[in-house]
Amino acid sequence: MAASVAAESGPRRVGFVGAGRMAEAIAQGLIQAGKVEAQHVLASAPTDRNLCRFRALGCQTTHSNREVLQSCSLVFFATKPHILPAVLVEVAPVVTAEHIVVSVAAGVSLSTLEELLPPMARVLRVSPNLPCVVQEGAMVMARGRHVGSSEARLLRTLLEACGQCEEVPEAQVDVHTGLSGSGVAFVCAFSEALAEGAIKVGMPSGLAHRTAAQTLLGTAKMLLQKGQHPAQLRTDVCTPGGTTIYGLHALEQGGLRAAAMSSVEAATCRARELSRK
């Protein structure tokens, strides 16, 4: 069957409450992968500022959050976290047992989502990251009390259009935020530093940044496609007395490993703080 999917393989209509960058990335991934037709996507936002990007994809738009729930069985809530509770209270009267409600708001727990929606609401929580924009995201999902295996499988299948998606216990969602959500910034900082090292010893800036980014991309693909532990690939590159071992020694002297571990730990702790609030 084409992009207008049958009930067993995907929803006929998909809604987005909130039309920011992450909502657009997920919608674009679903459309490009043929999971749903653009005209069967409905997005809502208070103003036209972000909705214009959905219209450019061929999607339908509205300023009414309730209209999204009344038109779509699968709805992504992609508002800012501090706004989400009020939005859920607003739409709760039109949420039914037929809806699959998916929150991509960081720090809002499944228990909070379920408390603000009617009993038996089928709720899932998804932690995406920015590379979903180029369909190379790393995502995890956690299911609420009333979500069965079929709904979880459906959502995972849909989200794999935007990258890698795995189901985890909710306790691991904040860790994923620290590793993969914030990790995009950590990787960018490392890529920038690699490039600047090359610039320091004479490489033109544009070439240095392109080469650093391509090196990260190629390494990531090798790790994923070969299923190797990073230590194995590192060993393969590191010949006795060669250039790599000298560079690795410099990284160890600078405390790269400890700094990277601490950055993920700090970001995770902050995510947990926000969840408690």
**Is residue 226 a known part of a binding site?**
no
Query: 227: phi > 0 → left, psi -120 to 50 → alpha, else beta; which?
Result: left
Q: Is 78 annotated as a binding residue?
A: yes
Q: How far is CA 246 from CA 21, 129, 238, 241, 243, in A?
A: 41, 34, 9, 8, 5
Is 177 annotated as belonging to a binding site?
no
How are the residues of the chain apportioned to helix, strand and coil, as percentages rounded to the nearest 5? 60, 15, 30
Residues 6+ apart with CB under 8 A from 215: 194
Q: Known binder of ligand: residue 81?
A: yes
* Rounded Cα distance, 66 and 44, in Å: 9
At residue 163's C-alpha, the angle toward residues 160 and 166, to 5°, is 60
Binding residues: 65, 78-81
Binding residues for NADP(+): 78-81
Binding residues for NADPH: 65
